[in-house]
Amino acid sequence: MNRQNNRSGSSARNTGKPGRPPKKTGSAPTGKRVGKSRPVVKEEPKKEFAPRKWEKKPFARKTQAEKPVKQPKDRTLSSEGMRLNRYIANSGVCSRREADTYITAGVVTINGKVVTELGTRVIPGDEVRFDGRLLSAEKKVYLLLNKPKDFVTTTEDPHAERTVMELVRNACDERIYPVGRLDRNTTGLLLFTNDGDLSKKLTHPSHNMKKVYQVSLDKPLTKSDMERVADGFELEDGFIAADAISYIDAEAKTEIGIEIHSGKNRIVRRIFEHLGYRVKKLDRVLFAGLTKKNLPRGKWRFLTDNEVKFLKMN
């Protein structure tokens, strides 16, 4: 009995509680989880995704408040517009100096009112009248003349028999004037315009506007004298030197080509006279890039748009 009891006891110890299979050591647990269980969380129903609707709103400009109307400033103090004497000169009536005289005389009106104060300015839209005649700012004109001999380069000269203005008298309605000078016996290129800014630019030595002359001398120019002209020397009004000089006729050596940018009076003639030569003929064949091509002596032509742009760019 005791042996049976021991066997049964041993069996009870191995199986644990009656009716359950013995535990397997060293293996993964089976059945229900032993220990504390996690709390059950109820899941909320998922919300359906609804895409956001974008509404296109019409563009509307912000209304600006009306600006107050500015009162016109005193004309004599305004820095805008064009000076009245310049406006009159550009209209082809007279020069600026003469315009000042007419203004003080009371023959000029702006918008129906007589103006006598110098320095008054004309603003775009103003009505300017000279002695009752309506004036307008004229367009810019650029004209090239192949000047012949025995014409004086001036707008007015009571002592001159013929001036260059006679040659271009019927060219245009605008009041034009020569740029620079050619003496009475010098022939060649002469530019006319009513563009004062361009005229100053072309005649000022600092801009180095290229001018080429063909010179006919009374005797051959020696090599040493040509070098002296190229190196430069002192004249009564200062130092002078040619930019370039060469023979045109290599055999006779009396035909010379000389490039110079100085605007001094009769400068080419004085250069050769200083060295003991007499200039028989002097012809300007190039001026600021303009040539005499297809322009007979005594004739003129208007510059092309490209030529005007070229002059203003230099």
Strand intervals (E) in 117-210: 121-122, 128-130, 133-134, 142-147, 177-179, 187-193
CB atoms within 10 A of CB 91: 20
Nearest Cα neighbor of 287 from 187, 167, 220 is 187
- Residue closest to 275 by CA, chosen among 208, 214, 228: 228
Q: What's the CA gap between 241 and 230, in Å, rounded?
A: 6
Cβ within 8 Å of residue 204, ≥6 positions away: 263
The Cα–Cα gap between 176 and 293 comes to: 23
The answer to whether residues 84 and 115 touch, using CB atoms and an 8 Å cutoff, is: yes
Query: Which residue, chain included where needed, has tokens 């740029």?
Result: 179
Catalytic residue among 131, 183, 197, 237: 183
Calculate Rg over the CA atoms of the chain: 50
Q: Are strands 279-287 and 187-193 parallel, antiparallel or unpaired?
A: parallel
Q: What is the full DSSP assignment across 23-85?
A: PPTTS---SSPPSPPPPP-PPPPPPPP-PPPPP-PPP-PPPPPPPPPPPPPPTTT--SSEEHH
150 catalytically annotated = no
CB 143 within 8 A of CB 193: yes
Alpha helices for 48-205 (secondary structure H): 84-90, 96-105, 196-203
| Residues belonging to the active site | 183
